[in-house]
């Protein structure tokens, strides 16, 4: 068992780290304050090959492994989780789903531009009354012969207004329950498809989160992904990989907060010495470092399993639960170590604390992941 990164992975980490410092950090507070989407930065990430990291070069991707993807997500998330969540959705949910389940025509038409970063993708599963329960979908896609007629509303959609390609999960035959669900590719600008108001969020405020409305939207038959009735399987499969991306995002948020707290503790003086010399602070830093290292190993294990074609659903659920809770604990302690300065925006840690909370909620709440883990244990 090897714990060292390869030379290529180390180079990828350095490239992501440099990008985060030079391109993401300037303006990150302003983007958070004004809910400004990092459009220029996302375009540059596409040019670096980070928007289709695991996609085959045949379809415009970088052909990297899942461990490298987790590394990039961590480095970007240390600085700007709003940018990294766009990278996560595009890679883990949209590109992965199209490459694994799409036909050749769909890959050429949709996957290649997404993998190159020419356009952004969105994954549309959640609804007002169907979040983690994908079998409770109200959105319908009725088979009309040459096309499907799509109606319904989707909530909490990352890149809701900036995406060009939307993967929409809808119910075609409710009597078949989960076997009556399908996944479709819907183009922006299709008649009857409208974007709702932008959500005013507590964290990841730079990412644009919207509700989407579909009113008699005609979806061509060729835009269905996979066989009839395979949409539930499609959604569950891509969400397994999506949990790795979100776990890596939470890991990055925690790592970023820890690095800031460590630096501040070494510079700030109280009672005649740096606060890092006080045992109370040392204990906090030790716990933060230990939990982050444990979280990193869980994330890398899940990614390694995926790279090697081994079952990784349980591992990704464990990684997502542990890293998201580590992110909350670490960012809270980072604010505490900063004292009053931790409560103001210019020191970054209050934003990281706000960003950390969402990692416990999306891609299936921590409670849902615990159900996944316990089911595996009780087999």
Q: Which residues are catalytic?
A: 363
Q: For residues 75 and 72, what is the distance between their CA atoms, to the nearest angstrom?
A: 5
Per-residue burial over 236-259, b = 16 or more CB atoms within 10 Å of its CB, e = otherwise: ebbbbbbbbbbbbbbbbbbbbbbe
Q: For residues 74 and 69, what is the distance between their CA atoms, to the nearest angstrom?
A: 9
Cβ proximity of 237 and 184 under 8 Å: no
Report long-range pairs for 116-119 (Cβ below 8 Å, ≥24 apart): 116/46, 116/51, 116/52, 116/60, 116/61, 117/42, 117/43, 117/45, 117/46, 117/47, 117/49, 117/50, 117/51, 117/52, 118/46, 119/163, 119/164, 119/165
Q: For residues 31 and 46, what is the distance between their CA atoms, to the nearest angstrom?
A: 19
Q: For residues 207 and 373, what is the distance between their CA atoms, to the nearest angstrom?
A: 30
Per-residue burial over 130-168, b = 16 or more CB atoms within 10 Å of its CB, e = otherwise: bbbebeebebbbeeeeebbbbbbbbbbbbbbbbbbbbbb
378 vs 73, 138, 322, 374, CA distance in Å?
A: 32, 31, 20, 6
Per-residue burial over 266-279, b = 16 or more CB atoms within 10 Å of its CB, e = otherwise: eeeeeeeeebbeee
């Amino acid at each position: 068992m090897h714990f060292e990164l390869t030379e290529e992975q180390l180079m990828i980490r350095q490239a992501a780290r440099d990008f985060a410092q030079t391109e993401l950090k300037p303006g990150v507070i302003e983007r958070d304050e004004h809910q400004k989407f990092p459009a220029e930065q996302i375009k540059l990430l596409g040019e670096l090959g980070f928007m289709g990291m695991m996609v085959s070069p045949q379809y415009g991707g970088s052909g990297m492994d899942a461990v490298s993807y987790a590394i990039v997500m961590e480095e970007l998330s240390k600085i700007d989780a709003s940018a990294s969540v766009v990278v996560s959705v595009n890679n883990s949910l949209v590109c992965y789903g199209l490459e694994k389940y799409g036909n050749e025509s769909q890959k050429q038409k949709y996957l290649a531009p997404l993998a190159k970063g020419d356009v952004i993708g969105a994954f549309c599963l959640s609804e007002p009354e169907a979040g983690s329960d994908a079998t409770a979908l109200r959105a319908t896609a009725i088979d009309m012969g040459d096309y499907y007629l799509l109606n319904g509303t989707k909530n909490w959609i990352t890149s809701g207004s900036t995406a060009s390609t939307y993967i929409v999960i809808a119910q075609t035959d409710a009597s078949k329950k989960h076997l009556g669900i399908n996944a479709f590719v819907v183009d922006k600008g299709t008649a009857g498809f409208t974007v709702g108001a932008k959500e005013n969020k507590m964290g990841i405020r730079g990412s644009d989160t919207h509700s989407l409305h579909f009113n008699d939207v005609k979806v061509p038959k060729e835009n269905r992904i996979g066989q009839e009735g395979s949409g539930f399987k499609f959604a569950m499969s891509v969400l397994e990989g999506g949990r790795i991306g979100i776990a890596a995002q939470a890991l990055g948020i925690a790592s970023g907060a820890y690095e800031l707290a460590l630096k501040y503790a070494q510079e700030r003086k109280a009672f005649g010495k740096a606060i890092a010399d006080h045992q109370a602070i040392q204990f906090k830093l030790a716990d933060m470092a230990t939990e982050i290292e444990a979280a990193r190993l869980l994330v890398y294990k899940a990614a390694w399993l995926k790279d090697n074609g081994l079952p990784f659903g349980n591992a990704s659920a464990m990684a997502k639960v542990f890293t998201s809770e580590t992110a909350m604990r670490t960012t809270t302690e980072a604010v505490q170590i900063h004292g009053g300065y931790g409560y103001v925006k210019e020191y970054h840690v209050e934003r990281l604390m706000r960003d950390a909370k969402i990692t416990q909620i999306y891609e299936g709440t921590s409670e849902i992941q615990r159900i996944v883990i316990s089911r595996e244990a009780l087999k």
